């Protein structure tokens, strides 16, 4: 019986136990030895077209940054229709629903993210040609959202009772300046102290993300009195200060290992070609999977800003002296879950049991928060193949996409064990 298998599988009820226990290398084959799970998997394969239709339906509901409400409401209705309990939208916009286990612990949170990178007004209709579906966000993360629904459906149709409780979630704010606000809220407020394991299903492919790439993002604004480009010539210029700072940023030296990166992604300011700007700004993204490397890069970045400001002020004898404002617009912590950690090995085991070898990768996902906190967590891809991610021509190839749903289903069972 499934219950007997669940009680004999190696698993953990706390972070300390998770770290000390041997990796459950054989969890995949042991799960597949249970006939009820095998039957549910076969049913899941036949349900994949329906799961893809859910993926398309959700993709055609706009979910621009900070405005995920319409898609959240649709996701809430889907949770209710699948019989989850305590279905709700929390105060930051996450959609949550519970599937009780035999006990509350271990408590697994299994999620996809609701938001896209595309601004309000983007046409989100999809098109299809054979196995290829095109549409903004069709892979990232409408695929993840659909896989989560597929997992719930398979558990229901297989009448599978998990040992621990699973909270399924659609989170807000995973992309861009959303700064992981949804998942941060889960760990700091909504489910604080009650999450034993965390999985995010994000995008297409067969990867398992166990290294959390952290990032720091700033919006830096220079301000001055501004004036006429001819009559007021000689005033310090905010646009020039931005240029000086960027020139220095471009010369920053970063290590290859641990990898650290920087990018000035947006600049703006001024009112006309014949005006000295009263304001100019830039936005920068810095990343590393190593928190110390990210901190060191940040310290050097701060120096470049101070030097750029000082140089522009001194160039004009402090006439029309500029000021500078630095605002953090993104702070994703870095972290690493060992490749030998039980949660990573469980994800590898269920992948291999389904006949494919996963890629063990690094990335920036909702799992960053849990990994940084030392809570067992991974992000898994939803299978299929993506091209043009974050572009208007984003596409998803459904070939073998059932593999992602099946893996997520097995991993949800494995991680909800005692």
pLDDT digits (tens, 9 = 90+) for 327-347: 999 999 999 999 999 999 999
Angle between helices 35-59 and 142-157 (to 10 degrees): 140
pLDDT digits (tens, 9 = 90+) for 75-121: 999 999 999 999 999 999 999 999 999 999 999 999 999 999 999 99
pLDDT given for residue 417 in this prediction: 86
Name the segment(s) of the chain with CATH classification 3.40.630.10.
Answer: 2-212+335-415
Q: What is the CATH number of domain 2-212+335-415?
A: 3.40.630.10
Name the segment(s) of the chain with CATH classification 3.30.70.360.
Answer: 214-332
Assigned CATH topology for domain 214-332:
Alpha-Beta Plaits (3.30.70)
What span, in angstroms and rounded, lies between the C-alpha atoms of 227 and 308?
A: 21
Enumerate the β-bridge partners of residue 5.
Answer: none
Count Cα neighbours of 159 within 13 Å in the Cβ-side half-sphere.
4
Taking 70 as the threshold, does the pLDDT of residue 7 lie above it?
no
**C-alpha dist (Å) from residue 147 to 169, 267, 397:** 12, 38, 15
Taking 90 as the threshold, does the pLDDT of residue 13 lie above it?
no
pLDDT given for residue 24 in this prediction: 52
* pTM greater than 0.85 (yes/no): yes
């Amino acid at each position: 019986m499934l219950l007997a298998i669940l009680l004999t599988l190696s698993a953990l009820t706390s972070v300390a136990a998770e770290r000390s226990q041997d990796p459950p290398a054989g969890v995949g084959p042991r799960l597949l030895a249970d006939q009820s799970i095998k039957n549910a998997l076969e049913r899941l394969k036949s349900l994949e077209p329906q799961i893809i239709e859910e993926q398309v339906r959700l993709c055609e509901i706009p979910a621009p940054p900070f405005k995920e409400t319409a898609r959240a409401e649709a996701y809430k209705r889907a949770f209710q229709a699948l019989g989850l309990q305590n279905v709700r939208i929390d105060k930051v916009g996450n959609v949550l629903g519970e599937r009780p286990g035999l006990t509350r612990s271990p408590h697994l949170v299994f999620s996809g993210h609701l938001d896209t990178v595309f601004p309000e007004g983007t046409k989100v209709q999809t098109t299809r040609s054979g196995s290829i579906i095109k549409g903004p966000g069709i892979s990232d993360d409408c695929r993840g959202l659909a896989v989560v629904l597929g997992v719930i459906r398979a558990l229901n149709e297989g009448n599978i009772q998990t040992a621990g409780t699973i909270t399924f979630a659609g989170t807000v704010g995973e992309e861009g300046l959303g700064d992981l606000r949804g998942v941060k809220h889960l760990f700091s407020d909504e489910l604080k102290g009650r999450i034993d394991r965390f999985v995010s299903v994000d995008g297409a492919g067969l990867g398992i993300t166990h290294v959390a790439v952290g990032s720091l993002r700033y919006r830096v604004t220079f301000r001055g009195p501004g004036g006429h480009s001819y009559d007021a010539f000689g005033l310090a210029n905010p646009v020039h200060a931005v240029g000086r700072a960027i020139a220095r940023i471009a010369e920053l030296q970063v290590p290859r290992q641990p990898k650290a990166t920087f990018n000035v992604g947006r600049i703006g300011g001024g009112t006309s070609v014949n005006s000295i700007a009263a304001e100019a700004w830039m936005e920068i993204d810095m990343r590393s999977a190593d928190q110390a490397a990210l901190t060191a890069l940040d310290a050097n970045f701060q120096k470049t800003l101070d030097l750029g400001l000082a140089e522009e002020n001194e160039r004009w004898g402090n006439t029309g002296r500029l000021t500078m404002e630095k605002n953090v617009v993104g702070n994703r912590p870095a972290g690493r879950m060992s490749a030998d950690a039980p949660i990573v090995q469980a994800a590898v085991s269920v992948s291999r049991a389904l006949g494919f070898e996963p890629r063990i990768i690094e990335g920036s996902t909702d799992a960053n928060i849990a990994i940084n906190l030392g809570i067992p967590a991974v992000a898994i891809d939803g299978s299929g193949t993506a091209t043009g991610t974050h572009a208007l021509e984003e596409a998803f190839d459904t070939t073998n996409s059932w593999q992602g749903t099946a893996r997520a289903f097995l991993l949800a069972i494995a991680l909800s064990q005692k």
